[in-house]
Amino acid sequence: MKIMSLFVVLAFVGCSDSGNVKTEKTKEDPNLPPINVSLPSPPPASAFVIQEKNPDGTFRIEGMIHNQTKHLDKVVTLSGTIARISKACDPKKAKKKGKTCNQPSMYIKDGEGAKKFLKVVGYTDDFIKRSKVEVGKAYTFKGTYKKMAQGFVVTEDGLLLLDFVNEIPVLLQK
């Protein structure tokens, strides 16, 4: 019981604050030069505006994502650089291993230093071979801007269900 009382007393004494905290005032040295703060001027408000379209009228990826509510479920044409293409999968080899092939996809961006990427779906590995698209090259993409597509989950930035790359159709007409 004595130990318990001691802890209670120490807890109250240790937590009390008399409000009399002494601080030292720093005196300015009269021999030092005056403080001169030189900051750059703030950037103009236009520096924070995200351009929706390129000069040629095609959408910019970041601009379309930023304004996605205006463009969802609509056919759009945008310019972008391929950042990554999924690896081709041979269904016969995958089946032998007891696996299935994922749907092919690629990521496109506005260009060097771009912060936003858009997933592109709705094509086959044969289309990549036929169209000869390459990572790092710029193209014009046409398709439907969607939140999700068959076989792909909902993404925050949406995805492009591809119809054309440049003038090359994803589906061949018979």
Give the residue among 162, 160, 164, 141 at the shortest CA–CA distance from 78: 141
Percent of the chain with pLDDT over 90: 50
Average pLDDT, the chain: 85
Task: Provide the pLDDT for residue 6.
Answer: 47
Task: Provide the pLDDT for residue 101.
Answer: 87
Looking at per-residue pLDDT, the higher value among 159 and 5 belongs to 159
* pLDDT-derived band at 11, boundaries 50, 70, 90: low
Mean pLDDT value of segment 169-173: 80
Lowest mean pLDDT among 4-8, 17-21, 45-49: 4-8
Percent of the chain with pLDDT over 70: 84
**Amino acid residing at 132:** K
* Stated pTM of the model: 0.70
140 with 79: CB under 8 angstroms? yes
DSSP letter at 72? T
Task: Provide the pLDDT for residue 27.
Answer: 76
Helix (H), strand (E) counts: the chain: 5, 6
Query: What are the percentages of helix, strand and coil residues in the chain, rounded to 5?
Result: 25, 25, 50
Homologous superfamily of 51-168: Nucleic acid-binding proteins (2.40.50.140)
Mean pLDDT value of segment 111-124: 91
Looking at per-residue pLDDT, the higher value among 26 and 116 belongs to 116
Task: Provide the pLDDT for residue 45.
Answer: 81
Residue 99 in tokens:
């696996």
* pLDDT-derived band at 30, boundaries 50, 70, 90: confident
